[in-house]
Homo-oligomer: A and B are copies of this chain.
Amino acid sequence: MTTADHYSPIYRDELLGKVLPFWEKHSPDPEHGGYFTCLLRNGQVYDTDKMVWLQARQVWTFSMLYNRLEQKQEWLDMAMLGADFLEKHGRAPNGDWYFSLSRQGRPLVQPYNIFSDCFAAMAFGQLYLSTGEARYAETASATFRKILERRGNPKGIYNKAVPGGRALQGFSLPMILCNLCLELEPLLEPQLVEQTIDECIHTVMEVFFDPTTGLVLENVEPGGGLSDSFPGRLINPGHALEAMRFIIDLGARRGDAKLCRKAGQRILHMLDFGWDTTYGGLYYFLDRKGYPPEQLEWDQKLWWVHLEALEAVLKAYVQTKDSRLADWFLKLHHYSWPRFSEPEYGEWYGYLKREGTPLHTAKGGKWKGCFHVPRALWGCWQALEALRTS
């Protein structure tokens, strides 16, 4: 890619000059610990609830940058602010992670959502690498083991499906596990890591793939077949692209060029399928048969979808040098930056209407915190640097 020199500093400067400062300035709760994530365009706090997903993700972000980019004390302090809060308040008596807490740390919503646990494991895994504190390693690996135990029925008692009714498997957990086992590799036995990676690659690349249409699926029958139902028809292009990016990471780690090429092909196909040819951008949800998805937000354009797409095409390009991926990088870059980035206060908008204007101008909420923007800016910057020096 001849243009890596041009783009690399754009991603770096946005991360270091715009996005991290926004969260450093506006998110810390000095009184009770943890972070505010419900922030308006200018950083004003509009709600003080603390979602465990987002607390853990912010711990991970600052700790990861401390580990991989620079050992800045303020980044470690920022990570510790959330980690202390999570250690104090985040877990139910059985060790599962609550979904949300009040500003003070009072539990509000039960541990029905296993992704709280996934992000807590990521957070404490990174923090162990930052600090060498054995307690954090123990928290991360104990949480990881409980995730593996719960994965057959991740919602547990909160599962509303009738046994024997329509027991679909969901894509999210195997997808996250692809990433999580690389994240926690330093803490786990090598055999468990390799076994989990093998299972995840098989599940993500074979079980949740429809060879007829070439689409990555969100929900499949227990045996792996297509389900003609709302969840069974659902396509989430951003999810598929994020998962393919995790597969590229695994392929790169194993030196498996064939796996990287396969993931690259699927990235190209999902981009073609998910792209809005009228207004540009990637749809949030589609139905694989073209019917109306049940999600009323299906045609919106979400920040994380576009950031995951950017990181996926760059990382796939690094591995495969397929020029169509480079073309898509430019197309995605030129769609995303003018619409999502917001230079005045920093951090990106989250939700655009189909036509590309903001649905609202908040920078954070119940589902958007300090995670996808810095993670993908970092990932894109690193991929662009790899291209510059290759």
Contact = CB atoms under 8 A, between A and B. Distances in A.
B166 A108 contact: yes
Interface in A62-115: 98-99, 102, 106-110, 112
Given A49-B230, A158-B160, A359-B299, A365 B165 contact: no
A110 B163 CA distance: 9
A365 B166 contact: no
B296 A160 contact: no
A351 interface: yes
Contacts of A165: 102, 106-109
A109 B296 contact: no
A13 interface: no
A297 B112 CA distance: 24
Contacts of A106: 164-165
Contact of A294 (B107, B162, B164, B365): B365
Contacts of A367: 294
| Interface range, A side | 35 or more
A360 B102 contact: no
B49 A109 contact: no
Interface string A147-185: 000000000011011101110000000000000000000
Contacts of A366: 230, 294
A42 interface: no
A184 B161 CA distance: 31
Given A162-B98, A229-B49, A297 B296 contact: yes
Contacts of A158: 158, 160
A296 B351 contact: yes
B49 A162 contact: no
A116 to B, nearest CB: 12
Contacts of A110: 160-162
The complex is assembled from copies of this chain, and their number is 2
Contacts of A47: 228-230, 291
Contacts of A362: 291-292
A336 interface: no
Given A47-B229, A47-B230, A102-B166, A161 B109 contact: yes
Contact of A292 (B164, B299, B365): B365
A300 interface: yes
Nearest to A351: B296
Contacts of A229: 47, 49
A337 interface: no
Interface in A205-232: 228-230
Contacts of A108: 161-162, 165-166
A42 to B, nearest CB: 13
A345 interface: no
B300 A296 contact: yes
Contact of A296 (B98, B157, B166, B296): B296
A229 B80 CA distance: 26
A353 to B, nearest CB: 8
18 contacts: A46-B289, A47-B230, A47-B291, A49-B229, A98-B162, A106-B165, A107-B162, A107-B165, A108-B162, A108-B165, A112-B160, A158-B160, A292-B365, A296-B300, A296-B351, A296-B359, A299-B359, A353-B354
Given A106-B164, A296-B296, A296-B297, 6 more contacts: A38-B291, A49-B229, A49-B230, A109-B161, A296-B300, A299-B359
A-B complex: 10 closest residue pairs judged by Cβ atoms: A296-B297, A292-B360, A108-B165, A107-B162, A46-B291, A292-B362, A110-B160, A112-B160, A294-B366, A108-B166
